């Protein structure tokens, strides 16, 4: 174990020692269903990395429930209020946040069969492409100003206050836009996992931030050169699956010259995603409770645990 600034750092072998005795088993078939397009994750990752992480979340969740009980006693409430435990997962585009979110949802659902564990991405809170065009920021999609932060904060507030069924706009990567008249439904969860590149950011002139609603947070980290490789690999897979569907956003690139398509993707990575990562996403890394650092092949080689 290394100690640096406000983080304890563990290599893979050291971190694996923190798993609980109640290991949650996962099958290869389940992993295949929840992993993102070109992400890689193994049963060994589940046991070595995610089982200790689930155990830590279990401890934090028990502490949280205790805090809620103490607060309700102080306020003289007859019943403990139903206030969900919210986990935030941040990191770059194409780093594997979605896989981490879905795997944690599975593990926590198994650990708490009597609890409702739900997961959502903040992609749905991007402004529709038409609105981004109207504002002249379509080429800055993913940057802080491209999100309807007021709507996202309103959503988080309603969830945290257990305001019944809460709906969020639905985003489709196939059409690269918000899906009209379709919504993600969050129904009084006990645990909610919120995944997105922007969840740990501190937008200017905001009285409250998305991260203020989090009770635990994770940052998925990797060298930008590796993330670019994963981003381009994912782009290639999207092209391979889009050429038969004219309604797919990637169809126009799938039926065209492949070199031109990849030149465009590299430009988008350099001018949009890498710029966003360096200026707005990476600076939030040290605000997370846990940093999962990935190396070649999406293998997590180091875990950093926040001290305070």
- Report the SS3 class of residue 144: helix
95 annotated to a ligand binding site: yes
What is the chain's Cα-based Rg?
A: 20
Binding site annotation covers 204? no
Distance CA 37, CA 32 (A): 10
Is residue 9 annotated as involved in ligand binding?
no
Annotated ligand binding at 51? The verdict is no
Residue 196, annotated as binding a ligand:
no
Secondary structure (3-state) at 183: strand
Task: Return d(Cα 33, Cα 10) in angstroms, integer.
Answer: 29
Does residue 168 contact residue 120 with C-beta atoms inside 8 Å? yes
Q: Is 94 annotated as a binding residue?
A: yes
CA distance linking residue 286 with residue 305, whole number of Å: 10
Q: Taking each helix axis from N to C terminus, what angle separates 224-242 and 258-268, rounded to the nearest 10 degrees?
A: 140
Is residue 254 part of an annotated ligand binding site?
no
18: Cα separation from own chain's centroid: 23
166 carries a ligand binding annotation = no
Q: Detail the residues annotated as belonging to a binding site.
A: 91-98
Q: Detail the residues annotated as belonging to a binding site for ATP.
A: 91-98
């Amino acid at each position: 174990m290394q100690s640096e600034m406000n983080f304890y750092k563990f290599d893979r072998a050291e971190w694996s020692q923190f798993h609980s005795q109640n290991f949650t088993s996962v099958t290869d078939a389940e992993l295949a269903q929840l992993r993102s397009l070109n992400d890689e994750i193994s049963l060994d990752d589940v046991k070595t990395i995610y089982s200790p992480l689930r155990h830590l979340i279990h401890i934090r969740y028990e502490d949280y429930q205790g805090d809620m009980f103490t607060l309700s006693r102080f306020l003289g409430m007859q019943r403990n209020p139903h206030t969900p435990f919210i986990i935030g997962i941040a990191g770059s585009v194409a780093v594997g946040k979605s896989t981490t979110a879905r795997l944690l949802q599975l593990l926590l659902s198994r650990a708490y069969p009597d609890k409702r564990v739900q997961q959502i991405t903040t992609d749905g809170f991007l402004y529709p492409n038409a609105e981004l065009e109207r504002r002249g920021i379509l080429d800055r999609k993913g940057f802080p100003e491209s999100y309807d932060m007021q709507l996202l904060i309103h959503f988080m507030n309603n969830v945290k206050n257990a305001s019944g069924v809460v709906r969020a706009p639905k985003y489709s990567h196939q059409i690269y836009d918000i899906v009209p008249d379709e919504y993600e439904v969050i129904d009084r969860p006990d645990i909610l996992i919120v995944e997105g590149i922007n969840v740990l950011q501190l937008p200017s002139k905001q009285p409250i931030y998305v991260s203020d609603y989090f009770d635990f947070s994770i940052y998925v980290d990797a060298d930008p050169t590796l993330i670019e490789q994963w981003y381009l690999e994912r782009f290639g897979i999207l092209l391979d699956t889009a050429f038969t569907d004219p309604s797919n956003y990637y169809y126009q690139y799938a039926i065209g010259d492949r070199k031109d398509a990849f030149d465009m993707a590299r430009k988008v990575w350099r001018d949009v995603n890498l710029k966003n990562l360096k200026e707005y996403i990476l600076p939030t890394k040290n605000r997370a409770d846990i940093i999962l650092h990935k190396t070649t092949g999406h293998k997590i080689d180091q875990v950093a645990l926040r001290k305070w």
